[in-house]
Amino acid sequence: VLEKGHIKTMRDFSGLAFRVAREVIGCSSPLLRFLIGERGLPLSTLLVSPPRCGKTTLLRDLTRSFANSLNVALVDERSEVAACYRGVPQLDVGMRTDVLDGCPKASGMIMAVRALAPQLVVADEIGRPADIEAINECVNAGVAVITTVHAHTLEELYRRPLMADLMNSGAFQLAVLLSRRHGPGTVEAIHRLNPCAEPQRRPQGSKLAGIQ
């Protein structure tokens, strides 16, 4: 049901789809060393894949891992990463992670930088103009960003004007391409996007431990 061009509600259901978050502790461990810069701080990284390739599972575990030593802010717009219930994360995103549950990504990222003093901001599934603007605000305030986006390849991303502008801005230093070739979480490649990033690359087709 549309109202003024926007979806207001839905009716006449023929089925329901339930998404259940799956936690895999430690699945990001093989990838961590590639995402850390010379000063021990995370590099701004984009996790790229089609649906059902383990992006959110990997993002969650990266959040947990970095929160062992850094101040992390997680903007969990759809409650899929931390799965908060009454303000309490039901999945492990780290003891030092501030979770903005149900908060729009763009607003949450900017609020986090202004109020929470994060060293890393994490968000899932970017793509709107406001998201792009917020990411640029973060990285130009000295805060790393790790987030996800849907695409098969970098070439597909560059064909989307908003994403092409973001990639060319230097906001992200690395892009990690995932697939299901050997099951969800298969790392196809790690691409350096920013000349300032460290030139590291994971062997093609390797699989992160634990994601099935």
- CATH fold label, 2-207: Rossmann fold (3.40.50)
pLDDT of residue 208: 53
pLDDT of residue 39: 86
Which tokens belong to 185? Answer: 């979480």
pLDDT of residue 6: 87
> CA-CA distance, 101 to 80, in Å (whole number)?
9
What backbone phi and psi angles, to 5 degrees, belong to 189? -170, 160
pLDDT of residue 212: 33
Chunked mean pLDDT (size 10), the chain, 212 residues? 88 88 92 92 97 96 97 97 96 97 98 98 97 97 98 95 93 96 93 64 48 38
Q: Where are the beta strands (DSSP E) in 93-211?
A: 97-101, 120-123, 144-150, 174-179, 186-192, 206-207
Which tokens belong to 202? Answer: 């994971």
